[in-house]
Chains A and B, each alone.
Chain A
Amino acid sequence: MIRITQNAELDDATRAALASGRAQPALDLFIETLMEMRGISETEGQAIAGAALESETPVDLSADALAMTFAAIERGGALPTREMTYPELGGLPVRLREAVLAAEGKAGWKTIGLGIRSLDLGAVGGLKAEIIRVAPGTTVPRHTHKGRELTLCIHGEYLDSGAVFGPGDFSYRDAAEHHEPKALAGAPAYALAVTDAGLKFDGLLGMFQALFRL
């Protein structure tokens, strides 16, 4: 297991992947959440993309495009104001919070063990993102993963392989490494986990190597 607590150093290729949205959605969500939790911003890359949009050659839309958009706005009504299942997650970075709300509106939280629940955030392109909730003082039974796993602590604290993880700390773990993370007493611990089922991390690891000098 590699535990990473220091700040990220972005290279140009990583900046470009983040600005343009080229990375796989699960990993993109992971990195954006991580950066926001650590107060890292990447304004130049985003501004390049914004300026490029301005210099884009406009392409005409169908004549009724604006009317159809207004119609869609009226059909949609106000933004749904669903309550989050766990109010302590209300302070999450906005994109992750939206992903949580969307997932709670679909399959929702599933109990996967005593005091352990998971929320599937969905997968596109081979990577899976989920949130794991571990009740205070609960240990997740010793397990391995089929593939590799990136885990970001998003709330509370947990002990894993001898190290304490707090919000913004994350780890990278190879397949076949056993672990049994334990939430510290007092508050539930939440982690955002991205797994690859053993197939898909190769191209993505480059990004993490560059980002965190693994």
Chain B
Amino acid sequence: MGGKGHTKPAGETLSEAERARFADLLGAVAIRQDRNAFAELFAYYAPRVKSYLLRLGADNALAEEIVQDVMVTVWRKAGLFDRAQASASTWIFRIARNRRIDLFRRSKRPELDPEEEMVLPSGVEAPDARVEAMETEARVRAAMKDLPEEQVLLLKLAFYEGLSHSEIAAKLGAPLGTVKSRIRLAFAKMKARLGDD
């Protein structure tokens, strides 16, 4: 398979054209059970989902098992993918994220941190977000490119890896208050950027 998944350098997000291509591939899986399309999706996403699971503390065997489950689910539910609502990456991440339950079951990962304080509520989400989802996907990537590396790391630790603020503080050796205010700042910058143009 000359899947472009293998050649894309690590650390980079997909371009708009590549996101469109992966959405097309999911469509091909949904409409005609296209195995080549699936193989290309697999080549790109399976090694990344595996990396995600290892990050969450799965061992190699468990990670491989869950990756397989996630990709089987991608095949079976491809018909439910709606490119107007999310990118293929976001959709596949949701599937992987929902399998975190298996990690909960098999390990003693802490639940929500009871000591964690919540930061102040921000504004109410607009209900018409659906039409803007594609736009959001593009702008989130642009913002992540522009933000300082440290802030991107904080967003990833919180939104992707799901570490609590106190876990992030411990991991980075930074005071909890600093972590909270920086995450708030990074997310606010992203929101401000999303509000642009």
Partners in one complex: yes
Q: Which residues of A contact B (CB under 8 A)?
A: 7-17, 19-25, 39-62, 65-66, 68-70, 72-73, 76, 79, 94-95, 124-126, 200, 202-204, 206-207, 209-211, 213
Find chain A residues with CB under 8 A from B10 CB: 55-58
B90: contacting residue among A50, A59, A76, CB under 8 A: A50
Find chain B residues with CB under 8 A from A59 CB: 47, 50-51, 54, 63
> Whole-angstrom distance between the alpha carbons of A21 and B90 in the complex?
13
Q: Is the CB of A54 within 8 A of B105?
A: no
Number of residues on chain B facing chain A (CB within 8 A): 87
Find chain B residues with CB under 8 A from A204 CB: 112
Q: Is the CB of A25 within 8 A of B101?
A: yes
Q: Is the CB of B191 within 8 A of A44?
A: yes
B100 within 8 A of A: yes
Q: Is the interface of A mostly helix, strand, loop or mixed?
A: helix
> Whole-angstrom distance between the alpha carbons of A206 and B63 in the complex?
31
Find chain B residues with CB under 8 A from A9 CB: 121-124
> Whole-angstrom distance between the alpha carbons of A177 and B43 in the complex?
54
Q: Is the CB of A12 within 8 A of B183?
A: yes
Q: Is the CB of A43 within 8 A of B133?
A: yes
Q: Is the CB of A12 within 8 A of B187?
A: yes
A22: contacting residue among B112, B115, B121, B156, CB under 8 A: B112
B159: contacting residue among A20, A68, A70, A209, CB under 8 A: A20
Known A-B contacts A69-B72, A209-B118; A49 and B124 likewise in contact (beta carbons under 8 Å):
no
B94 within 8 A of A: yes
Q: Is the CB of B136 within 8 A of A44?
A: yes
B184: contacting residue among A12, A61, A124, A126, CB under 8 A: A12
Q: Is the CB of A12 within 8 A of B86?
A: no
> Whole-angstrom distance between the alpha carbons of A15 and B162 in the complex?
10
Chain A nearest CB, measured from B100 CB (Å): 5
Q: Is the CB of A22 within 8 A of B164?
A: yes
Find chain A residues with CB under 8 A from B35 CB: 70
> Whole-angstrom distance between the alpha carbons of A13 and B129 in the complex?
20
